[in-house]
């Protein structure tokens, strides 16, 4: 019960991000199709009498500062889970980040989901799946999906997740930017651009059929992100980056969530490596270019004790 636990949690791409007019609570109703991709943060929780969080950030993220222990989403996750069980949070947590920060790939949500799974085991509290999903939804709209993984439909504000049929292996190139974009700012700009948005978010029927068929060309034709236009309006260079990847052979370029990471769907693993290689001459602006496949598992233990 007290051994160290390491949990691996994936980044996500929104294959479809349909956004409706803001609700009374300020959140936007979504109909989104999430896919977990093979780019992960790893979180290790060790027994301790006190509570601590350390985050290890790779050099390529340019020394980005993450919130302190107090404000880190991992601490918020620990507090909510501990409160649910009538406990005080204890443990020494170490996070190794690989998912771009504030990049629209839900890295913070992945860390929160990993913390819930690791601490549940570390504390030996056997939280039910329903309770874990509910606590995840309180932490953030994207956190329940980071627990579930695979390919899933997200509704409500994104926190209600249900797996969908997906027979493909999908190959993605991800091009992060060093400067993140604020999710609330991109939603606010969506409201400015779409003052008459319908309350119901747009459906994803054709995209769901492409996933079920495993057809990359059909998937490319049906990818949709309603936050793409506002993100490009805030960062016009992202539009050029999408054009560039498509000119290099990607089936389709797309902003991931609220951005600024650009993702490119490719026909095969070889095609993805070729597109990634084409960005190598621009290493000042894009120090890393990642190749990842999907769908992969949600937050899962990778050590057992």
Ligand X SMILES: Nc1ncnc2c1ncn2[C@@H]1O[C@H](COP(=O)(O)OP(=O)(O)O)[C@@H](O)[C@H]1O
- What amino acid positions are annotated as catalytic residues? 12, 142
If you ran DSSP here, which 8-state letter would residue 170 be given? E
174 in Cβ contact with 38 (< 8 Å): no
Residue 106 marked in a binding site: yes
For residue 110, say whether it is annotated as part of any ligand binding site.
yes
Those residues with Cβ within 8 angstroms of residue 91's Cβ, 6 or more apart along the chain or in another chain:
45, 46, 47, 48, 51, 52, 78, 119, 122, 123
User: Which is nearer to ligand SUD, 181 or 271 (by Cβ)?
Assistant: 181
Sites for ligand SUD among residues 164-223 (CB under 6 A):
183-184, 187
Residue 13 interacts with ligand X (CB under 6 A): yes or no? no
30 binds ligand SUD (CB under 6 A): yes
Q: Candidates 5, 8, 16, 28: give the one binding ligand SUD (CB under 6 A).
A: 28
The C-alpha atoms of residue 150 and residue 70 are separated, in whole angstroms, by 31
- The helix (H) or strand (E) run that includes residue 32 is strand 30-46
| Sites for ligand X among residues 144-183 (CB under 6 A) | 183
Please name which of 15, 31, 10 lies closest in space to residue 199, comparing C-alpha atoms: 31
The residue at minimum Cβ distance from ligand SUD is: 257
Question: Does residue number 255 form part of the binding site for ligand X (CB under 6 A)?
Answer: no
> How far apart are alpha carbons 97 and 103 in whole angstroms?
13
Q: Which member of 100, 104, 216, 230 binds ligand SUD (CB under 6 A)?
A: 104
Which residue number, 102 or 296, has a Cβ lying nearer to ligand X? Answer: 102
Site for ligand SUD contains 157 (CB under 6 A): yes
| Binding partner of residue 168 among ligand SUD, ligand X, none, CB cut-off 5 to 8 Å per kind | none
Interacting partner of 14 out of ligand X, ligand SUD, none (Cβ under 5 to 8 A depending on kind): ligand SUD
Bridge partners, residue 299, by sequence: none
Can residue 109 be called a binding residue for ligand SUD (CB under 6 A)? yes
Q: Closer CB to ligand X, residue 54 or residue 237?
A: 54
Exposure of 74 by Cβ count < 10 A (0-12 exposed, 13-18 middle, 19+ buried)? buried
Q: Does 294 bind ligand SUD (CB under 6 A)?
A: no
Task: Give the residue, chosen from 18, 89, 91, 103, that forms a contact with ligand X under the rule CB under 6 A.
Answer: 103
**C-beta of residue 223 within 8 angstroms of C-beta of residue 15:** yes
Task: Say if CB 143 and CB 156 are below 8 A apart.
Answer: no
**DSSP SS3 for 190:** helix
Binding mask 205-244 for ligand X (x = CB under 6 A): ----------------------------------------
Written as one string, the DSSP assignment of 193-259 is H-TT--SSPPP-HHHHHHHHHT-HHHHHHH-EETTHHHHHHH-THHHHHHHHHHHTT-SEEEE-TTS
17 contributes a contact to ligand SUD by CB under 6 A: yes
Could you tell me the smallest distance in angstroms from the CB atom of residue 192 to ligand SUD? 13
User: Does the protein bind ligand X through residue 113 (CB under 6 A)?
Assistant: no
Q: Which residues are annotated as a binding site?
A: 100-110
Give the binding site for ligand X (CB under 6 A). 55, 66-67, 72-74, 95, 101-109, 111, 183, 257-258
């Amino acid at each position: 019960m007290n051994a160290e636990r390491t949990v691996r949690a994936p980044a996500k791409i929104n294959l479809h991000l349909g956004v409706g007019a803001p609700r009374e609570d300020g959140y936007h109703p979504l109909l989104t199709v999430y896919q977990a991709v093979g780019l992960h943060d790893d979180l290790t929780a060790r027994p301790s009498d006190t509570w601590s969080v350390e985050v290890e950030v790779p050099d390529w993220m340019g020394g980005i500062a993450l919130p302190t222990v107090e404000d880190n989403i991992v601490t918020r996750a620990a507090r909510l889970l501990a409160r649910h069980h009538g406990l005080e949070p204890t443990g020494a947590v170490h996070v190794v980040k690989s998912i771009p920060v504030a990049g629209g790939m839900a890295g913070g949500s992945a860390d929160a989901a990993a913390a819930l799974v690791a601490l549940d085991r570390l504390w030996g509290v056997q939280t039910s799946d329903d309770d874990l999903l509910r606590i995840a939804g309180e932490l953030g709209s994207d956190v329940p999906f980071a627990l579930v993984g695979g390919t899933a439909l997200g509704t409500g504000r994104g926190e209600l997740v249900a797996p969908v049929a997906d027979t493909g292996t999908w190959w993605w190139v991800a091009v992060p930017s060093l400067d993140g974009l604020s999710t609330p700012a991109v939603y606010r700009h969506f409201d400015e651009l779409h003052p008459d948005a319908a309350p119901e978010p747009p459906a994803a029927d054709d995209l769901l059929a492409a996933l079920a068929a495993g057809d990359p060309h059909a998937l490319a034709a049906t990818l949709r992100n309603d936050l793409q236009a506002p993100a490009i309006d805030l960062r016009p260079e992202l539009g050029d980056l999408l054009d560039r990847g498509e000119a290099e052979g990607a089936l389709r370029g797309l902003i991931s969530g609220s951005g600024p990471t650009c993702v490119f769907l490719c026909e095969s693993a070889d095609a993805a490596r070729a597109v990634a290689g084409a960005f190598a001459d621009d290493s000042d602006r894009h120090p890393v270019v990642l190749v990842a496949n999907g769908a992969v598992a949600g937050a899962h233990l990778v050590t057992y004790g």
